Amino acid sequence: MAQEPMKTGLMKTIGAGLLREDDSGTEVQLAGWIGRRRDHGGVIFIDLRDSTGFAQVVLNPEDAPASQDVLHGLRTEYCVQVTGTVRPRPEGTINTDLPTGAVEVVAERLTVLSAAETLPFPLDGRTDVDEGLRLQYRYLDMRRERVARNLRARSKAIRAMRNVMDEQGFLEVETPTLIASTPEGARDMLVPSRLRQGQFYALPQSPQLFKQLLMIGGVERYYQIARCYRDEDFRADRQVEFTQLDFEGSFWGQEEVLETIELVARRVVTDLGHSIAPDPFVRMTYAEAMENYGSDKPDIRFDMKIVDLSAVLAQTEFKAFAGVLADGGSVRGINGGQLGLARSGLDALVSTAQEAGAKGLVWMVVEDDGSLRSPVAKFLSQSELYAIAEALDAVPGDTLMIVADRTSTVLEVLGRMRLHVGQPEGHDDLAFAFVVDFPVFDVHEDGTLSPAHHPFTAPASLETLVDSPETAVSKAYDLVLNGSELGSGSVRIHDASMQAKVFEVMGISADDAQRRFGWFLEALRYGTPPHAGFAIGIARFVSILQGEPNIREVIPFPKTQTGADPLTGSPSRVEEDQLRELGIRIAPDVVAAWAEEGGGATATPDV
Residues forming contacts to ligand ASP in the complex (CB under 6 A) are: 184, 206, 208, 488-490, 533-535
**Is residue 159 a contact partner of residue 167, using CB atoms and an 8 Å limit?**
no
Smallest distance from ligand ASP to CB 405, Å: 31
H helices of 313-430, in order, are 319-326, 343-355, 382-391, 407-421
When the beta carbons of 83 and 490 are compared against ligand ASP, the nearer one is 490
Rounded Cα–Cα distance for residues 113 and 48 (Å): 13
Smallest distance from ligand ASP to CB 505, Å: 18
Amino acid occupying residue 170: F
Rounded Cα–Cα distance for residues 71 and 556 (Å): 34
Work out the end-to-end distance of the chain between its first and last CA atoms, rounded to an integer number of angstroms: 63
Characterise 328 by phi-psi region: left (phi > 0), alpha (psi -120 to 50), beta (else): left
- Of 442, 435, 446, 352, nearest in space to 401 by CA: 352
**Is residue 334 a contact partner of residue 307, using CB atoms and an 8 Å limit?**
yes
Smallest distance from ligand ASP to CB 479, Å: 11
When the beta carbons of 391 and 479 are compared against ligand ASP, the nearer one is 479
Is the bond into 571 cis (omega within 30 degrees of 0)?
yes
Smallest distance from ligand ASP to CB 206, Å: 3
When the beta carbons of 259 and 577 are compared against ligand ASP, the nearer one is 259
Smallest distance from ligand ASP to CB 254, Å: 12
When the beta carbons of 83 and 206 are compared against ligand ASP, the nearer one is 206
Smallest distance from ligand ASP to CB 51, Å: 33
Smallest distance from ligand ASP to CB 185, Å: 9
Q: Residue number with the shortest CB distance to ligand ASP?
A: 206
When the beta carbons of 486 and 513 are compared against ligand ASP, the nearer one is 486
Rg value, the chain, Cα: 31
Rounded Cα–Cα distance for residues 290 and 67 (Å): 70
Show the beta-strand stretches assigned E in 164-320: 171-172, 190-192, 200-202, 221-229, 241-250, 282-285, 307-308
Rounded Cα–Cα distance for residues 379 and 404 (Å): 15
Smallest distance from ligand ASP to CB 464, Å: 21
When the beta carbons of 15 and 204 are compared against ligand ASP, the nearer one is 204
Smallest distance from ligand ASP to CB 482, Å: 19
When the beta carbons of 53 and 489 are compared against ligand ASP, the nearer one is 489
When the beta carbons of 205 and 335 are compared against ligand ASP, the nearer one is 205
When the beta carbons of 440 and 535 are compared against ligand ASP, the nearer one is 535
| Cα 11-13-18 angle, rounded to 5 deg | 125
Show the beta-strand stretches assigned E in 188-239: 190-192, 200-202, 221-229
